[in-house]
Structure 1
Amino acid sequence: MTKDRAPSPLLTVPMEGVDESTWLDVIQKMDEVYTRLIDDEVELERKNSELEQSQQFIFSVLSAMSDVLIVCDERGLIEQTNAALCELVGRGEDVLRGSSLADLLADAASVQAARAAMDRSEAPRGGQAIELNLLDRQGQPVPVDANCTPRIGANGKRLGTVWVGRPMAELKRAYHEMRTAHEALKRTQQQLLHSEKMASLGQLVAGVAHELNNPISFVLGNVHALRKYCDRLQTYMAAVHAHASESELANLRQKLRIEHLLADLPSLIEGTLEGAQRTADIVHGLKRFSAMDPEERQPVNLVEVIERAIHWVQKGRSSPVPVRWVPLQACTVLGSAGQLQQVMMNLLQNAFDALSAVPDPVVWVAMDCNGDPDQPTVRVTVRDNGPGIPPEHLLRIFDPFFTTKPVGKGTGLGLSISYGIVEQHGGRLSARNAEGGGAEFVLELPRA
């Protein structure tokens, strides 16, 4: 059992001139000071706990960063790094701290660029983008897209530099893969476009054969006639070279009808040339339609494109559909003649297919080449008197592989490809049901 401590002489022996109330005030003040000290100690412990949590939060953020982080002083010595940099260079933070930033750079150009950024007196607060080459753990250069930001102290003076960089090897690889995929997609799109074009051409084979048969038959008949005339001329010339008498030559000339032959030769030759030219024009049109289209855009007379499309689609049908079309003067747009002809042929072919069960089918093609003077636009409409487009199909009509035709009658790519072609030409393709019945497609293109 402990003994009671003896009271302090100061408390038991009153000092002269100091009463008891004064002592009570002193004791109360001491208690207040002691209580404040305890509160301050509790607050300090709380602040220390918050500071530790903040440090842990900052450390977790730095560790989670995929970008590399380097904090340097004004001399370029490393003060702080993160786990991403340590992983990249293969060195720990303790080894890196205090070393020079130049030791991490792979070439003199990177050292010079980094030094110039750190020595810049008026560095932007938003940072300066610099491409540097860091040495990885194998000693190989790694391109890094770095941002150099000045570190400012409480007094407003520059204390150093903060470097945040992202290794671009993965970005370059991803960009290369994306570019390769994009090129493959463009090639596939071109092949798909060409395949659909050849499918449209396949539907026109019968009409094309009939179209070619007329001039070829005409040329063939003229050539046979020219051959007979050639034989007669050879017989007559042989008699001339044999020095036949004038009476014999006159009889022979009458027998071989040389005068008629000579009078008929110009028309035969002209007709043959016309048939050959017609055949050449047909072949040239087929080649232009079936060929892969170049990327560059050229002035195209849209009136000629529409007339060719009407002609070819009509020739490809066993029973032609009347087309109401009044051609205008030349109306020029900038684009690819083959691709625009493919669009028109697809719109006409769809209109003809929609009229297969209509008693009196008609297709109207109209063109407005005036447009707004500020925004000159060519407007072409293709309308039929068929059953129209069901409302539930209007929103999907340009979707790839969407078709209402029976299996084997269509791929569902024609309108989708046409829509893409028109978009590439800076235009717009839309579909709606006409007020008087039937479907109506509207093609709008910027005028050249």
Structure 2
Amino acid sequence: MSLSSTPPNLPVLPDLTVAPDGLDETAWLDVIHKMDEVYQQLVRDEIALEEKNAQLEQSQQFILSLLSSMSDVLVACDSQGRIEETNAALRELVGQDEAGLRGRSALDLLADEDSVQRLREVLGTWRPSRGGAVLEIQLRDAQGQSVPVDLNCTPRRNASARVVGYVFVGRPMGEIKRAYQELQRAHEALKQAQQQLLHSEKMASLGRLVAGVAHELNNPISFVLGNVHALKKYTDRMATYLQAVHAGEPPALLAELRQRLRIDHALADLPSLIDGTLEGAQRTTDIVNGLKRFSVMDREDREPVDLNAVIERAIHWVRKGTAPGFTIHWAPQPRCLVRASAGQLLQVLMNLIQNAYDAASARSAQPELWITLAHNEREATITLRDNGPGIPPEHMGRLFDPFFTTKPVGKGTGLGLSISFGTIEQHGGRLTAANAPEGGAVFTVTLPLLGAEPPAAAS
């Protein structure tokens, strides 16, 4: 047996190679063997003890790091309320070190008598449950000011489940208030941004309307303007001729002046000019009245609306505004009435038609759209199918999500379909999307017929 290397903290054994006098050599070898076993066991125990010490030190360091990193204040005390352990957050708040706090009563940390009384009830008469309790107390900070703290009190038990102390964990309410105020500010900013985006989307829809209106108003206004110029010219000629008549000019001079000013031609042309001007003015009035009926985006009034008229007006405005070359296959159907806001339905259909044009233009040189209207005893269904690329499967589930868009930056907010979806739901209907078997996307708008709408939609 070699004893040349011995672990630290173990005694160095004497030379055992020579048996003591009077002891049999065999017995002596047995003694040496047993001593070797004992020594080896001592070595193993020493190594195990060192490993456990290392693990214990690691655990202590881990617990200390947890306590130091906590932003909430923590106090651990015995059953009498004497402080046994604190964390860095509490020591920083009260302005004292660990040595100055250890052994003191937790009541010394409180700033008012009400808080002292509440904590005394916990330490004295309260029979703690495993879940603990919550107290609102006032701590005294390093400057002597009161700091409101929402304190969670939990019993600390030993191995036999006997309460041996308490753990108090709390967060200063000032931090919570600041966090809440920041959350409120962020929420208000988000609501304001949402309102701005909604306004932007509505202005985009209104812009398409205005573009169509401006294009359509141009013809009758130009016609009226041309007629007014002609009438002014004829008026000047008539005034010149009448001045000569009233001045008593000779008949020969009046005849020559009548022929030179083409008075007879002007008199013959006046009825058609007046009729044309009236017709242009009436056409302008009709356009403005149509705009009043259909272009008010925020009207909430519900009234009987013929879906044929809304569809035709939506097609008309989109074509006049941004898609003059859009081929739309549509045939009016028998009168189909729903109770709705005509302006809101117009916005929905214009958005769907415009989206169909944008999608089809990206794929085909000749974008086309097929619109059908059908109904049963209870519902009317509008189907819009384009010849675009269709809807990718990965986009199908997000199509009506706010701010989701596949258009380039600056080309859309991603709110059009979301607003349309919400508008149709408010009318008691449904808006769905799918891909057509023959290609392209299909959007379906379903609305309850007049007299068959559910109570929520009717109200």
* TM-score relative to the length of structure 2: 0.58
SS at match of 2:178: helix
Residue of 368, 372, 375 corresponding to 1:364: 372
Equivalent residue, structure 2, for 1:383: 384
1:125 aligns to 2:137 (yes or no): no
**CA separation of 1:32/1:122 partners in 2, compared to 1, >3 Å: closer, same or farther?**
farther
Residue 81 of structure 1 deviates from its aligned partner by 0.6
Matched, 1:102 2:92: no
Q: 1:360 to 1:157 in 2, by over 3 A?
A: closer
Provide Cα deviations, 1:175-232, integer angstroms capped at 9, x if missing partner: 3223322322222222222222122222223655769x99xxxxxxxxxxxxxxxxxx
Report deviation, 1:435: 3.0
Instruction: Flag the 1:35–1:428 CA change in 2: closer, same or farther, 3 A.
Output: farther
2:188 matched to which residue of 1?
183
Distance 1:38 1:325, change over 3 A: same
Give the 3 Å change call, closer, same or farther, for CA 49–393 of structure 1 in structure 2.
closer
Q: Does 1:283 align with 2:301?
A: no
Would you say how many aligned residue pairs link Structure 1 and Structure 2?
A: 350
Contact 1:306-1:341 at 8 Å conserved across structures? no
Match of 2:416 in 1: 417
Give 1:388's aligned amino acid: G
Is the 8 Å Cα contact of residues 144 and 167 (structure 1) preserved in structure 2?
A: yes
Instruction: Write the letter of the residue equivalent to 1:403.
Output: K
Q: 2:183 matched to 1:203?
A: no
Deviation (angstroms), 1:151: 0.6
Seen in structure 2, the aligned counterparts of structure 1 residues 430 and 109 have a Cα distance that, compared at 3 Å, is farther
Q: 1:440 — aligned with what? A: 442
Structure 1, residues 247-293: CA drift from partner, whole Å, max 9, x if none?
Answer: xxxxxxxxxxxxxxxxxxxxxxxxxxxx999977853654x41x4x8
Q: Distance in 2 between the 1:308 and 1:113 partners?
A: 69
* Bigger Cα displacement from structure 2, 343-352 vs 19-28: 19-28
Matches within 5 A, 1:286-365: 286=295, 288-289=296-297, 291=298, 307-308=309-310, 310-315=312-317, 317-318=319-320, 321=328, 323-324=330-331, 326=333, 328=336, 330=338, 341-351=346-356, 354=360, 358=366, 362-365=370-373
The residue type paired with residue 142 of structure 2 is R
- Percent identity of the aligned residues? 42
The answer to whether the 8 Å contact 1:147/1:164 transfers is yes
Summarize the Cα distance change of 1:87–1:433 in structure 2 as closer, same or farther, 3 Å threshold. Answer: same
Cα distance, 1:305–1:325 mapped onto 2, change above 3 Å: closer
Uncovered stretches (5+) of structure 1, i.e. residues with no partner: 1-10, 215-274, 371-377
Q: CA RMSD in A?
A: 5.0
1:85 maps to 90
Q: Is 2:169 the partner of 1:164?
A: yes
1:80-116 deviations in Å (ceiling 9; x for gaps): 1111211222211111112222332344444344344
Sort the Cα spacing of 1:158 and 1:25 in 2 relative to 1 into closer, same or farther, 3 A.
farther
Give the superposition deviation at 1:37.
9.0
| Residues 279-316 of structure 1, C-alpha deviations (whole Å, 9 max, x = no match) | 77853654x41x4x8xxxx8967966885465355256
Distance (whole Å) between structure 1 residues aligned to residue 64 and residue 380 of structure 2: 64
Partner residue, 1:69:
74
399, 407, 418: which one aligns with 1:403: 407
C-alpha separation in 1, matches of 2:207 and 2:440: 27
- 2:132/2:153 contact within 8 Å kept: yes
Separation in 1, partners of 2:306, 2:125: 65
The residue identity in structure 2 corresponding to 1:422 is: F
Say yes or no: does 1:152 pair with 2:160.
Answer: no
The CA deviation string for residues 26-83 of structure 1, in whole angstroms up to 9 with x for no partner, is 9679948974994597255554454344333322332233332210122222111111
TM-aligned CA distance change 1:312 to 1:50, over 3 Å = closer
- The answer to whether 1:59 aligns with 2:61 is no
Would the alpha carbon gap of residues 50 and 309 (structure 1) be closer, same or farther in structure 2, given more than 3 Å must change? same
**Cα distance in 2 for residues equivalent to 1:118 and 1:89:** 21
Measured against aligned partners, the alpha-carbon deviations of 1:327-385 in whole angstroms (never above 9, x if no partner) come to 645467xxx98656533331133346658965986422456785xxxxxxx7854314x
- Structure-2 residue corresponding to 1:255: none
Aligned-partner Cα distance in 1 for 2:170–2:45? 42
Distance 1:321 1:276 in 2: 27
Q: CA deviation at 1:152?
A: 0.8
- CA deviations 1:369-408 (Å, max 9, x no partner) are 85xxxxxxx7854314x4223566983977656438xx9x
Alignment partner of 1:192 is 2:201: no
C-alpha distance in 2 between matches for 1:107 and 1:379: 70
Q: Alpha carbons of 1:329 and 1:304: their partners in 2 closer, same or farther (altered >3 Å)? A: closer
Aligned counterparts of 1:390 and 1:203: Cα–Cα separation in 2: 24
Please state how far the C-alpha of 1:119 moved relative to its aligned partner: 4.3
Q: For residue 383 of structure 1, what is the amino acid of its counterpart?
A: L
Distance in 2 separating the partners of 1:123 and 1:418: 56
Hey, what's the Cα distance between the residues in 1 that align with 2:301 and 2:122?
52
Between the aligned partners of 1:348 and 1:117, the Cα distance in structure 2 is 69
Contact 1:204-1:316 within 8 A present in 2 as well: yes
Distance 2:444 2:98 in 1: 67
Q: Please give the secondary structure, in 1, of the residue aligned with 2:168.
A: strand
Give the whole-Å Cα distance in 2 for the aligned partners of 1:90 and 1:143: 16
Distance 1:345 1:390, change over 3 A: closer
- Runs of at least 5 residues in structure 2 that lack an aligned partner in the other structure: 1-19, 221-283, 449-453
